Amino acid sequence: MSIKSIIKNTAKFAAFKIIYPAVYGISRLRRVDKNKIIFAEIRGDKLSDNFRLIYERLKEVPELELTVFFARNNSGGFGYLWRYAKLAAMTGNARCVLLNETCNLFGAFRLRKETKLIQTWHACGAFKRWGKSCSDKSFGETAEAQDKFPAHTNYTLVTVSSPECIPAYKEAFGLSSKSSCVQAVGVSRTDYYFMPDSRERAFGHIYKICPAARGKKIILYAPTFRGEADKAYIPNMLDIPSLKESFGEDHVLLIKRHGFVRKRYDIPDECRDFAFDVTEDTGIEKLIITADICITDYSSLIFEFSLMERPMIFFAFDLEEYYDSRGFFYSYDESFLPGKTAKTGGELTELIKEAESSDCREVKAFRKRFMSACDGRSTERIVKRILSAD
């Protein structure tokens, strides 16, 4: 082990085992401020979709003091250790802290009973394994590291999209099967899809950023990332020229990269009137509303897209490799997937043609199974839990 690694590990151990418990212990000596609510953004640098509607609803309560804290735990170096200490101090007298990512700060001490810790996880459904469910795989942390720096021990509430998902979240978070904190109250950001003007706004936005889409069907390609989060890259097996040859007259292809992927998709010059990387131009929710067909692979996007009850195709050319590094909660086959799987460009083209006339029966069943609590009132239920006296 290098000197740098030794220093980093020693600093992390000291922070989580000594400094954070001490900081929180001192800060909790204050009386709880019943108006203080903290939104903890662990990775991002702006208020995320998971929090936005909850934040806007709570802003309507005049006496509440809302704080958005940016931990930036993916920025490298030791800076996040200092920011976590600040968050521990802020938490000491808070009424409620909301998370949407894993944050092992909250496993470093036991929260006072008057403070709620609500996990609004950043994905719907339960698809790829994470946390305790993929310990010691190449994607996940070791079981030893997760036990040394636990993250999921203090939750008051974990919001999920349906009762079907509850066992998977308990497994991933290492919670007892008897734990009652994981509840199907819905996912706040999905309320957007039920708003009366969301469809009109979404199409207006897409036509503005991509005029070529007007009057044509939209094929959305939204794969998950490959590699590690800090070195993520997009899969490069999509044959764009072939897709243009088959569908270019009356379709456009809109590409949405995973948030971890920085490099834009390489679109051939001759296809720039058909294929567009719109990642920086729009959020995924507008693409979900406007897309006629979605092509993905192992992305949890499928749960939200099922709310549209439109065709999905799974381009899983590297299934065996991906499964070995991550694993799934369900078998990756037609007993789970709400659509058919392609492993080659030719198969993908045929499935797109076939999907044009699909009745989406399997998508509707998938929606009922995995998204039953997402009905346009999720934010209302979550806010009620935040403000409740218990």
Pair 165, 210 in one domain: no
- pTM for this structure? 0.90
Q: Is the pLDDT of residue 194 over 70?
A: yes
Q: What CATH number should be reported for the domain holding residue 43?
A: 3.40.50.11820
How does the average pLDDT of the chain come out, rounded?
Answer: 92
Rounded (5°) CA angle 51-141-171: 65
pLDDT given for residue 308 in this prediction? 97
Pair 55, 72 in one domain: yes
CA distances from 317 to 223, 239, 275, 314 (A): 12, 12, 21, 9
Work out the pLDDT band at 73, boundaries 50, 70, 90: confident
Pair 220, 267 in one domain: yes
Pair 201, 175 in one domain: no
- Residue 297: partners with Cβ closer than 8 Å, 6 or more residues away: 223, 224, 235, 314, 315, 316, 322
Average of pLDDT values for 38-59? 94
Domain count, the chain: 2
Pair 319, 379 in one domain: no
Average of pLDDT values for 68-95? 89
How many other C-beta atoms lie within 10 A of the C-beta of residue 1? 7
Distance separating alpha carbons of residues 257 and 282, to the nearest angstrom: 11
Pair 276, 343 in one domain: yes
pLDDT given for residue 76 in this prediction? 65
What pLDDT digit, counting tens, does each position of 242-280 carry?
A: 999 999 999 999 999 988 888 888 899 999 999 999 999
- Residue 375: partners with Cβ closer than 8 Å, 6 or more residues away: 186, 194
- Residue 76: partners with Cβ closer than 8 Å, 6 or more residues away: 230
Pair 141, 175 in one domain: yes
Distance separating alpha carbons of residues 215 and 42, to the nearest angstrom: 40
Pair 148, 19 in one domain: yes
Distance separating alpha carbons of residues 188 and 206, to the nearest angstrom: 23
Pair 183, 255 in one domain: no
Pair 103, 126 in one domain: yes
Q: Is the pLDDT of residue 343 over 60?
A: yes
pLDDT given for residue 220 in this prediction? 98
Pair 74, 210 in one domain: no
Q: What CATH number should be reported for the domain holding residue 327?
A: 3.40.50.12580
In single-letter form, the type of residue at position 214 comes to R
Pair 178, 291 in one domain: no
Distance separating alpha carbons of residues 273 and 248, to the nearest angstrom: 9
Q: Is the pLDDT of residue 139 over 70?
A: no
Distance separating alpha carbons of residues 346 and 352, to the nearest angstrom: 10
Domain membership of residue 97 as a residue range: 3-187+375-387
Distance separating alpha carbons of residues 348 and 358, to the nearest angstrom: 15
